[in-house]
Amino acid sequence: MTFLWLFIGLAVLFSASYVEGETMGDGFYYVKRQLAWIFIGLLGFNYVIHAPLKRILNVSHWFFLILIGLLFLIFVPGMGIKVNGAMRWLNLRIIAIQPSELIKPFLVLQSAKIFGRWHQISPGNRILWILIFILMLGGILLQPNLSMTALCGMSIWLVALAAAIPYLYLVPAALLGVGTAALSAMLRPYQMKRLMLYRNPWQDASGHGYQLVQSLIAIGSGGIWGKGFGLSQQKLFYLPIQYTDFIFAIFAEEFGFVGCLLLLLMLMVYATLALLVAFNARNPVFRLVAIGAMILMVGQSLLNIGVATGALPTTGLPFPLMSYGGNSMMTSLIIAGLLIRVARESSEAEIVPFQERKQERFV
């Protein structure tokens, strides 16, 4: 399922980005770069699915803390890169990385480790890790990146819910999260504008509502069966960033209502398999890792679709394994690898390498 999703995403990216790539002299410009990131992501994917999960969990907190440090290093003059008014990228001279994206696999691991052992942890350590989670969310919110903050916050909360953490903790945490999001929107006029316009973007169709209007035009013009692969018109410089955050709109225009239903069916099957993996896991921490991985893979996809269709306010969340972006691709493959690793360690059947199976067949 992971590789089917990856193949579909690469095909859709090719269609959505080809015209933009032609302006740079190579229609395959974005696809080539995406393939390079897929190769790097598959190295991490391969390591995760073969490494014992306990070994990964034992070192996950160090990577988690390092990436929190990198979140705040962005604000050091000369280290952060501002894109579209937001400071989300860290300049490492050789390459630029997005710590808020790279931290997601370790957020899954660390939240599963903390909440899976909640009753075995001392009250002091509980408070310490809750404060560390709040520090991480605060660092992402200051960039500002409200959508990523909301995604990470909801992921932590849902993992805690799955771990049966008492509502005495969960309800105040939910209220604090909603209040923080409301305060952020009030302090930043553009966020409030998005919240007010997403229900009727035609009020400002040439301004803040332009992107959503063009996305809805793309989705609506796809009809039942779609215009056909590669035949989108909105990708012809009408819909901005059509190969990243709004790639679903191009998919809907080319494959129509039927294609969208099949895509949602794929996500439903993926979520169902992930939950089966979680239910079969005997270790409670492993179970929460599977649930956290499912939340980030499928939940983020549904949020992206909700934004493109106007069901949710416009945000900047990519579609996992589909949108263009190296950081997103690497983290998505690693998160999928964690899910596969949980499935392997939960199975009683011995996993025989392909090479050994082939030799046995010839014998």
- DSSP line for 196-226: HHTT-GGGGTTTTTHHHHHHHHHHHHTTTT-
Q: What angle do CA 323, 155, 335 make, to 5 degrees?
A: 50
pLDDT digits (tens, 9 = 90+) for 156-172: 999 999 999 999 999 99
Lowest-confidence region among 85-94, 134-143, 272-281, 284-293? 85-94
The yes-or-no verdict on residue 46 having pLDDT over 60 is yes
Of 262, 245, 237, whose CA–CA distance to 309 is shortest?
A: 245
Q: Which residue has the higher pLDDT, 187 or 276?
A: 276
Residue 275 confidence class, pLDDT cut points 50, 70, 90: very high
Stretch (H or E) spanning 282: none
Residue 353 confidence class, pLDDT cut points 50, 70, 90: low
Model confidence, pTM: 0.92
pLDDT digits (tens, 9 = 90+) for 316-337: 889 999 999 999 999 999 999 9
Overall average pLDDT of the 269-286 stretch = 95
Residue 359 confidence class, pLDDT cut points 50, 70, 90: low
The yes-or-no verdict on residue 265 having pLDDT over 70 is yes
Overall average pLDDT of the 255-264 stretch = 97
The yes-or-no verdict on residue 132 having pLDDT over 60 is yes
Q: Which letter does DSSP use for residue 90 in this model?
A: E
Overall average pLDDT of the 280-284 stretch = 92
The yes-or-no verdict on residue 134 having pLDDT over 70 is yes
The yes-or-no verdict on residue 38 having pLDDT over 50 is yes
For 207, residues 6+ apart whose C-beta sits below 8 A from its C-beta are none
Q: What angle do CA 178, 304, 245 make, to 5 degrees?
A: 115
Residue 263 confidence class, pLDDT cut points 50, 70, 90: very high
Q: Which residue has the higher pLDDT, 196 or 141?
A: 141
pLDDT on residue 313: 84
- Count the neighbouring beta carbons within 10 Å of the beta carbon of residue 271: 17
Q: Could you tell me whether strands 80-83 and 86-91 are parallel, antiparallel, or unpaired per DSSP bridges?
A: antiparallel
The yes-or-no verdict on residue 351 having pLDDT over 60 is no
**Mean pLDDT, the chain, whole residue set:** 90
CB 148 within 8 A of CB 99: no
**Residue whose tokens read 């604090």:** 176
Torsion of CA 181, 183, 189, 194, to 10 degrees: 30
The yes-or-no verdict on residue 356 having pLDDT over 60 is no
Q: Which residue has the higher pLDDT, 87 or 174?
A: 174
- DSSP line for 50-72: HS-HHHHHHHHHHHHHHHHHHHH
- Count the neighbouring beta carbons within 10 Å of the beta carbon of residue 316: 16
Structural Rg of the chain based on CA atoms: 21
Residue 181 confidence class, pLDDT cut points 50, 70, 90: confident
Residue 350 confidence class, pLDDT cut points 50, 70, 90: very low
Lowest-confidence region among 85-89, 212-216, 265-269, 350-354? 350-354
Overall average pLDDT of the 273-289 stretch = 94
pLDDT on residue 14: 96
Q: Which residue has the higher pLDDT, 362 or 98?
A: 98
Among the residues of the chain, which ranges form H helices?
2-22, 29-50, 53-73, 99-102, 104-116, 123-141, 146-162, 167-187, 189-197, 210-221, 247-280, 284-294, 300-308, 326-346, 354-362
pLDDT on residue 349: 41
Angle between helical axes of 247-280 and 210-221 (0-180°, round to 10): 80
- Count the neighbouring beta carbons within 10 Å of the beta carbon of residue 278: 22
Residue 352 confidence class, pLDDT cut points 50, 70, 90: low
For 144, residues 6+ apart whose C-beta sits below 8 A from its C-beta are 86, 184, 188, 191
CB 218 within 8 A of CB 237: no
pLDDT on residue 73: 92
Cis amide bond preceding 144, omega within 30: yes
The yes-or-no verdict on residue 358 having pLDDT over 70 is no
299 SS3 class: helix
